[in-house]
Amino acid sequence: DQQVKQNSPSLSVQEGRISILNCDYTNSMFDYFLWYKKYPAEGPTFLISISSIKDKNEDGRFTVFLNKSAKHLSLHIVPSQPGDSAVYFCAASSGGGADGLTFGKGTHLIIQP
Amino acid sequence: NAGVTQTPKFQVLKTGQSMTLQCAQDMNHEYMSWYRQDPGMGLRLIHYSVGAGITDQGEVPNGYNVSRSTTEDFPLRLLSAAPSQTSVYFCASSPRWYKGYEQYFGPGTRLTVT
């Protein structure tokens, strides 16, 4: 059973508008969440993270929101730029963190000019 | 710093062959891990290491071996390749093993088993 779900395989957004990528999780032990961005033929690169003691974290154009009661997080990108076109993975960890990250299947974001 | 490097970039194996995927990092990171990514799937953890001499299994360890004799290197061995091991393999490292530290990923090795 998938513990981290990204239900939109792809999302198309116009340049300059807001991109909102969603992620749901089922494991209530998850307490640290991350977003990674991946271009074709490259490894994922870290974008932004949030601890379960917070409900929002911002870094420049990127904001992650966490709703613990709904087991839902979202990544907002404002304004969207052509270089944001990539696959975005939501990931989560629990406990000490040594046993790695649990990833969603990813959402392919396409920024239209 | 070169970051996390992986070799080879591409590899084709026949069923039953063995090989080692290499991973190295030059950032003196404590934590290293291996993931595989299959089409339409997220990354899944194969093995990880919290320091030299210490390794443990992840979600999908069967058919793979690892060792960590130095801080820098974390090779992944396929003992007897199977078509189900066709995948893209990513190595990652992190300054510390406990969460709160981001993981840095290598560029990946694309493996095909025929």
CA atoms within 13 A on the CB side of B90: 23
Number of residues in chain A:
113
CB contact under 8 A, A98 and B102: no
Chunked mean pLDDT (size 10), chain A, 113 residues: 92 98 95 94 94 96 97 98 97 80 95 95
CB B96 within 8 Å of CB B33: no
Q: Enter the DSSP assignment of B1.
A: -
User: Looking at CA atoms only, how far is residue B19 from chain A in angstroms?
Assistant: 21
Output the CA angle B31-A87-A60, nearest 5 degrees.
Answer: 80
Q: Give the Cα separation of B103 and A100 in Å (integer).
A: 9
Structure tokens at B87: 């995948």
Could you give the CA distance from residue B66 to residue A69 in angstroms, rounded to a whole number?
39
In A, minimum Cα distance to B42 occurs at A105
User: What per-residue confidence (pLDDT) applies to B1?
Assistant: 73
Cβ-nearest to B41 among A46, A91, A105: A105
Q: Which of A95, A75, A105 is nearest to A30 (CA)?
A: A95
Which pLDDT belongs to residue B71?
Answer: 96
pLDDT of residue A27: 93
CA distance B33 to B23: 10
Cis peptide before B75 (omega within 30 of 0): no
- Rounded distance between C-alpha atoms, residue A59 and residue B80, angstroms: 45
Nearest residue on chain B to A30, alpha-carbon basis: B99
pLDDT digit string, tens, across residues B45-75: 999 999 999 999 999 999 999 999 999 999 9
Tell me the per-residue pLDDT of B17-39, one tens digit each, with 9 for 90 and over: 999 999 999 999 999 999 999 98
Q: Do A99 and B58 touch (CB under 8 A)?
A: yes
Q: Reduce the DSSP state of residue B112 to 3 states and report it.
A: strand
**Cα B20 from Cα B83, distance rounded (Å):** 16
3-state SS assignment for residue A84: helix
Does B43 score more than 80 pLDDT? yes
* 3-state SS, residue B92: strand
Residue of B nearest to A103 (CA): B42
Residue bearing tokens 């891990």? B33
- Rounded distance, CA B98 to CA A30, Å? 14
* Residue B106 dihedral angles phi and psi, to the nearest 5°: -80, 175
- Largest alpha-carbon pair distance within chain B? 40
Q: Which residues of A touch B107 (CB under 8 A)?
A: 41-43
Backbone angles phi, psi at B11, to 5 degrees: -155, 140
- Residue B75 is given by DSSP the state -
